[in-house]
Structure 1
Amino acid sequence: MQIPFSSSASSSLGIEWELQLVDQQTRQLRGEATAILEELRAKVGEREAAKAKHELFESTIEVITGVCGSVGEATADLAGTVSLLRDLAERRGVALMCSGTHPLSDYTHQRITDDIRYSRLVSQMQWLARRLLIFGVHVHVGVRSPDKAMPIMNALMAHIPHFLALSASSPYWLGDDTGLASSRSQVFASLPTAGLPYPLEDWAGFETFMGTLVTSGTIETIREVWWDIRPHPNFGTVELRICDGLPTLMEVGAVAALAQCLVDRMNTQIDRGYSLPRPQRWLVQENKWRAARYGLDAQIMIDGHGAVRSVRDDLVDLVEDLLPVAHRLGCARELSDVLVILEAGASYTRQRAAAGRADGDLARVVDTLLEEMNAGRPVVGF
């Protein structure tokens, strides 16, 4: 199976941000996506409205950037679309919010979007699909050729726990504290074509594997492979899908900067003749679990002999190592915001702190997430 790859300018950037539609009175999710998107289309036209689209549930809208050259351009693009959506939503008594899961809402009370693609998904996956009331952030970074896509994807697997710990924002599921930093990652990984990618050697290996999945009826198109990191042939990117939904634009920018800098450095290393390291899959799997369970307090394995290190310390060193790359790409401020998140705490800790201050009232957690969304950055100590 031949899969054309639409090469992109090196380190170009695109971001997808899945937003929740929350009733301002009940604080529960509310299915208003179709109405809001129709109003958006009437207001700004088809081209601009294409930056916001349906997802599986009617209580979700995904906001999408165009192809951007910098993190600042990408976050400004997101902010413009979110501003339009916020005005339309508020007229309906709905607010915009983001976290990996909604602290209170039950997936059984949510309407599936009327779309043949989603109907087919639910028909095939049944309960696994019906409970996908989860929200994430996806970051695309451009690469020039398919020959680079697979080595970069394989090397990025070592950083899955870093991205997950930094973005973890789903401690609650159906109104209960799961004890995890990221329950979303575990819910999503239950799908047969989601979770950790298979470490394939090269583009030919990827084409062969995708051809096998299509021929066997496992998937109809490669769009149905939802790995934590995957190549996106149509966009000419490597796409990081591991991140939980991030509550603030600042956090989206920090994660995007980290992704762009890592891919850019790997791209340069390939150009200089280096072979990128490829971590063992079992080690990545263990580290992903540790990040899902403990978030930024995770002790991740750094070799095959059982040595461990704090993911928090690893992130501090990673930011320092990547700062020269960030200065060249114009995202040094956004990359340094990773350190701000480490100081403020990732969203899962901020949510639990809000619940603790309210004697376990998860409606207060929703209020905190709404306030952070409007502020654009973590709100600590209120």
Structure 2
Amino acid sequence: MHIPFTPSEGSSLGVEWELQLVDPRTRELTSGAVEILEDIRPPDADEHPKAKHELLQSTIEVITGVCGTVAEAHADLAETVRVVSRAAEHQGLALMCAGTHPISNWATQDISPKPRYQQLVAHLQWLARRLQIFGVHVHVGVRSPDKAIPIVNALTAYVPHFLALSASSPFWVGHDTGLASSRSKVFESLPTAGLPYQLSGWDQFESYMETLVSSQTIESVREVWWDIRPHPDFGTVELRICDGLPTLDEVAVIAALAQCLVQRLDDDLDRGHTPQSSHDWVVRENKWRAARYGLDAEIIMDDHGTVVPARQALFDLADELMPVARRLSCADELAGIDRILAIGASYQRQRAIAEASGGDLTKVVDSLLEEMATGLTA
């Protein structure tokens, strides 16, 4: 099976941000996507080019165009969020984001009327129905399919870095799960989700896809929901591991980290160096540690079991990538890693609000709504 790959010019950037629609009075997830997206639909188009349906009618995904820099992606998202937010207000709703909603029950949610999502639920049943989860996806352009698979392989070593930094789903249907990221565990239950396979090259990816398509397991690469995957149509490597982030500030940090890492790995390939990938069992354990402990995780660094605290690993990685960030004009955004480490990742901020309010998770919702509107605190 031949899968054409559309090359990208350098490390271009695209970001997708899944937003929750919330009734600010009840603090519950509330359907409204159909009405909001119809309200903002241009008169000469079937849908808004940068705001889309997702599985639940209480979700809207906002996406950027093809951007050159993190600052451009930030501005692109901010404009679309402004448009969606204004339309949401007309419906009595507000926007927020986190990997999960602290109190709403997935069983009460309406499924999107889009045929794709109706088919998904018909096929996956309970696994799809409970996908009341929200993420941030970052696409970074690569120039050829020969680079895409080695870069995906190498990026698996950084799964715990991205997950610990973005973890924002400690609560599930009104209960503390004890995890930093419950979203990552809910999502990986899907049959084609979770960590990517370590493939030898583009030809093996084509063979994998041929098996799944020929057996009618999937229809296209869009149904391969790996934590990191190649996207042939866009000519990108897509990082899908991150929990939903409450602020544009944090989205920009994650986008900078992704763009810098892919650019460095791309540079290594240009120099004739195949980027090193970690063993599956190390990657799998590291993902679990980040999902469970977040920034307090200890990341396994080699086959001998050497561990480094996630905070230190992130600090070191940001320092290591800073020359690349300067080249890509995202040094300020990459430096935002230090800011998140200082004030805490979202799961930590949410738990602090819950503790201060005696376990009242509606106060957590209020804090997420406020962060969406105002950004990170100093």
**TM-score bracket, shorter-length normalisation:** over 0.9
**For residues 357 and 278 of structure 1, what CA distance do their matches in structure 2 show?**
42
**Partner of 1:220: helix, strand, or coil?**
coil
Offset from partner CA, 1:97-120 (integer Å, 9 cap, x none): 000000010011110001211111
Matched, 1:3 2:8: no
Aligned to 1:199: 198
In the other structure, the counterpart of 1:23 is 23
Counterpart code for 1:195: G
CA contact (8 A) 2:38 2:47 kept: no
Deviates more, 1:303-312 or 1:56-65: 303-312
Q: Is the 8 A contact 2:221 2:231 kept in 1?
A: no
Deviation digits for residues 168-189 of structure 1 (CA, Å, limit 9, x no counterpart): 0000000000000000000000
Q: CA 1:48/1:258 → structure 2, altered by over 3 Å: closer, same or farther?
A: farther
Equivalences for residues 242-321 of structure 1 within 5 A? 242-321=241-320
Q: Which residue of 2 aligns with 1:70?
A: 69
Alignment of 1:84-103 (within 5 A): 84-103=83-102
Mean CA deviation greater in 70-79 or 209-218: 209-218
Paired residue for 2:82?
83
Whole-Å separation in 2 of the counterparts to 1:155 and 1:278: 4
Could you tell me which amino acid in structure 1 is paired with residue 130 of structure 2? R
Amino acid in structure 2 at the alignment position of 1:30: T
What CA distance in whole angstroms lies between the structure 2 residues aligned with 1:327 and 1:222?
Answer: 34
In structure 1, how many angstroms separate the alpha carbons of the residues matched to 2:214 and 2:221? 12
In the alignment, the residues of structure 2 paired with residue 160 and residue 46 of structure 1 have an alpha-carbon distance, to the nearest angstrom, of 38
Distance, in Å, in 1 between the alignment partners of 2:17 and 2:89 is 19
Cα displacement (A) at 1:365: 0.1
Unaligned runs of 5+ in 1: none
| Residue of structure 2 in register with 1:136 after alignment | 135
* Aligned amino acid, residue 18 of structure 2: E
Shift of 1:46: 3.2
In structure 2, the residue corresponding to 1:66 is in which secondary structure? coil
**For residues 135-169 of structure 1, what are the alpha-carbon distances to aligned partners after superposition, in whole Å with 9 as ceiling and x for unaligned?**
00000000000000000000000000000000000
Q: Which residue type is aligned with residue 104 of structure 1?
A: I
* Match in the other structure for 1:12: 12
In 1, Cα distance between equivalents of 2:42 and 2:139:
29
* 1:154-169 matched pairs, under 5 angstroms: 154-169=153-168
> Residue 123 of structure 1 corresponds to which residue in structure 2?
122
Determine helix, strand or coil for the equivalent of 1:49: coil
What's the CA shift for 1:218?
A: 1.5
Q: Distance in 1 between matches of 2:216 and 2:263?
A: 36
The 2-side partners of 1:306 and 1:249 are apart by 36
Offset at residue 327 of structure 1 (A): 0.5
Cross-structure match for 1:37: 37
117 and 159 in structure 1: CA distance in 2 versus 1, 3 angstrom threshold? same
Pair 1:220-2:232 in alignment: no
Deviation of 1:376 (Å): 2.0
Does the aligned pair in 1 maintain the 2:37–2:47 contact within 8 Å? no
Secondary structure of 1:360's partner? coil
CA contact (8 A) 2:268 2:275 kept: yes
Counterpart CA distance in 2 for 1:260 and 1:303 is 24
Once the two structures are superposed, the pairs formed by residues 325-344 of structure 1 within 5 Å of their partners are 325-344=324-343
Aligned pair count? 378
Partner amino acid, structure 1, of 2:63:
I
Amino acid at match of 1:198: Y
Q: CA deviation at 1:298?
A: 0.1
1:47, distance to aligned residue in structure 2 (A): 8.8
2:58 is matched with: 59
Instruction: Map Cα deviations across residues 257-285 of structure 1 (whole Å, 9 max, x no partner).
Output: 00000000111111011111011011000
Q: Structure 1's 359 and 226: CA in aligned 2 closer, same or farther, altered over 3 A?
A: same
- Whichever residue aligns with residue 10 of structure 2, its letter is S
User: What is the CA-CA distance between 1:81 and the residue it aligns to?
Assistant: 0.2
How far did residue 222 of structure 1 move? 1.5
**Residues in 2 aligned to 1:362 and 1:24: alpha-carbon distance in whole angstroms:** 13
TM-fit CA distance, 1:357:
1.0
Q: Could you say which residue in structure 1 is the equivalent of 2:180?
A: 181
Separation in 1, partners of 2:114, 2:85 = 24
Rounded to whole Å, the distance in 1 between the matches of 2:13 and 2:42 is: 28
- Aligned-residue offset at 1:48: 8.4
CA–CA distance in structure 2, aligned partners of residues 251 and 286 of structure 1: 25
For the structure 1 residues 47 and 325, does the alpha-carbon distance in structure 2 shift closer, same or farther, using more than 3 Å as the test?
Answer: farther
Q: Which runs of 5+ in 2 are unaligned?
A: none
| Bigger mean CA deviation after superposition, 186-195 or 207-216 | 207-216
- TM-score normalised according to structure 2 size: 0.98
Following TM superposition, the consecutive aligned residue runs of length 4 or more in structure 1 with deviations greater than 4 angstroms are: none
Percent identity of paired positions between Structure 1 and Structure 2: 64
* C-alpha separation in 2, matches of 1:40 and 1:214: 36
CA distance in 1, matches of 2:221, 2:232: 9
